[in-house]
Amino acid sequence: MTGPLRRRGPRPLPLHLGLAGMRAMAAASSLPATPWPSAWPNSSAAWPISKAGQAERDRILGALAAGGHGPEAFGKAVLTRLARADRALIAGMAAYRRHPWTREMADPPVLWSEGGSRLLDFGGEGPAVLFVPSLVNRAYVLDLTPERSLMRWLPGQGFRTLLLDWGWPGEAERNFTLTDYVAGRLERALMAAPGPVVLAGYCMGGLLALAAALRRPDRVHALALLATPWDFHAGPDGPRRARTAAALLPGLDALMEPTGALPVDAIQSLFAMLDPYGVAQKFRAFARLRPDSERASLFVALEDWLNDGVPLPAPIARQCLGGWYGRNEPGRLVWRIAGQIIDPAAWAGPVFTAMPERDRIVPPASAMAAALRFRQGDVHVAAGGHIGMVAGTGAESALWQPMTSWLRRL
């Protein structure tokens, strides 16, 4: 695809290119200097170390042997594959950066605003559902495209739909704590909403929604938690992942000092390290798509949203990395908002907990830890991943319809 560059992403671009290059260099530098014993492909050579790597080595050696090639051809085959993968990655990134798709959806009316935050009213007749997104990504993931907008689909199902857009943190917000957002902005948005609402939190927004519901049960009729973490040390790999994230905090403090916030590229880097080679893989796959296909346009829409992040105020970054990940304060029931312990067991109303079955950001065990503490509730395991559950091609069947069925039963 030719044409002008429209985008800077994927962010941070040097990190993603560097990770792909490091993987290729590691594979190339690990090639043996001498051929394997003549017994290949059943060689007992120590390289590669992993069983999966040894199986792939033996598969390639077997294919080479079937074609009449000797083991010295292995290195050439590996380098050829690496070069092909690099070309596909560059082609996918270039196609993304030149893709003509743009988001051209007008914002709905604003029901309430304060600082950079707005309560968007998507209309609809019936009970009000107020959605609370994360603080580290733009709210419009729930209003991504005309076809992939939960906010524009739900009014047609008989519900008034509201979305809290936290906005860009200005000078005042960069001193905010989680208490300022929950006991301040979110509670005042609740007061502006029409009557008691169903409060639906997505990802980090789910923790904020739970805290607000416990503080203002008079304004919240029911609670929905969508891909919301709770026990940050849950799962076999949970403690290691969480403590690794917390250990980065001292180094990140230097990045936050100039602006009072954790920069967008630093946040994107943290997410990238959950799956270091995932970005390269998805851009290689994107290179194979027809540019004018629906899948290609949705890919670009999601990537544009991912690259359109917002900084995280420094006090909140410290609370999340140190308190949530490091000390697991929610899971240990010691997390407080305005002095109040936040415990799911203290919520007496209906709850809908949705967790994607393939979530790299919020492991299902982390979300399930909160679901098991609620007095009553419905648990829904959705097909898809963290983002695909709410805005992917299968989002309507994965989440939108099951959530709507629960809302109607209320």
pLDDT above 70: residue 208? yes
Beta-strand ranges (E) seen in 73-142 are 110-114, 117-121, 128-132
φ, ψ (nearest 5 deg) of residue 401: -70, -45
* Intra-chain end-to-end CA distance of the chain, in Å: 50
Q: Which amino acid is located at 93 in the chain?
A: M
Least confident of 56-60, 174-178, 383-387: 56-60
3-state SS, 99-112, equals CCCCCCCCCCCEEE
CB-based contact 185:117 (threshold 8 Å): yes
Q: Pick from 305, 297, 392: which is nearest to 99 by CA?
A: 297
* pLDDT attached to residue 220: 98
Q: Is 89 exposed, middle or buried (0-12, 13-18, 19+ CB in 10 A)?
A: buried
pLDDT digits (tens, 9 = 90+) for 1-59: 456 667 878 998 888 888 888 777 776 666 655 444 444 444 444 556 567 777 877 78
Q: Pick from 170, 224, 219, 186: which is nearest to 202 by CA?
A: 224
Least confident of 29-43, 72-86, 234-248, 274-288: 29-43
pLDDT digits (tens, 9 = 90+) for 63-109: 777 877 766 677 777 778 888 888 999 999 999 999 999 999 999 99
pLDDT digits (tens, 9 = 90+) for 253-265: 999 999 999 999 9
What element of type H or E holds 78?
Answer: helix 73-98
Report the percent of the chain where pLDDT is more than 70: 92
CB-based contact 272:282 (threshold 8 Å): no
* pLDDT attached to residue 38: 43
* pLDDT attached to residue 36: 47
Q: Is 136 exposed, middle or buried (0-12, 13-18, 19+ CB in 10 A)?
A: buried
Alpha carbons 158 and 161: distance in angstroms, whole number = 9
DSSP-derived 3-state class of residue 124 = coil
Alpha carbons 182 and 205: distance in angstroms, whole number = 10
pLDDT above 90: residue 233? yes
- Token pair listed for 348: 């007496």
Least confident of 6-15, 122-131, 249-258, 401-410: 6-15
In this prediction, residue 379 has a pLDDT band, given cuts at 50, 70 and 90, of: very high
Cα pseudo-dihedral 200, 342, 269, 53, rounded to 10:
-90
Q: Pick from 241, 380, 379: which is nearest to 321 by CA?
A: 241
Task: Using the structure block, give the residue that is written with the tokens 């990655």.
Answer: 89
* pLDDT attached to residue 204: 98
pLDDT digits (tens, 9 = 90+) for 311-359: 999 999 999 999 999 999 999 999 999 999 999 999 999 999 999 999 9
DSSP-derived 3-state class of residue 1 = coil
Least confident of 27-41, 92-106, 135-149, 192-206: 27-41
Q: How is the beta sheet containing 378-382 ordered, strand by strand?
A: 110-114, 117-121, 160-165, 128-132, 197-202, 220-226, 351-356, 378-382
State the chain's mean pLDDT as an integer.
91
* pLDDT attached to residue 214: 98
* pLDDT attached to residue 102: 94
Fold of the CATH domain 110-235+311-409: Rossmann fold (3.40.50)
* pLDDT attached to residue 63: 79
Alpha carbons 106 and 264: distance in angstroms, whole number = 25
Alpha carbons 307 and 43: distance in angstroms, whole number = 46
CA angle centred on 344, ends 341 and 345, rounded to 5°: 95
* Helix (DSSP H) and strand (DSSP E) numbers for the chain: 17, 12
pLDDT above 90: residue 269? yes
DSSP 346-406: G--S-EEEEEETT-SSS-HHHHHHHHTTSSS-EEEEESS-TTHHHHSTTHIIIIIHHHHHH
Query: What percent of the chain is helix, strand and coil (3-state, nearest 5)?
Result: 50, 15, 40
Q: Domains of the chain: which residue ranges?
A: 13-98, 110-235+311-409
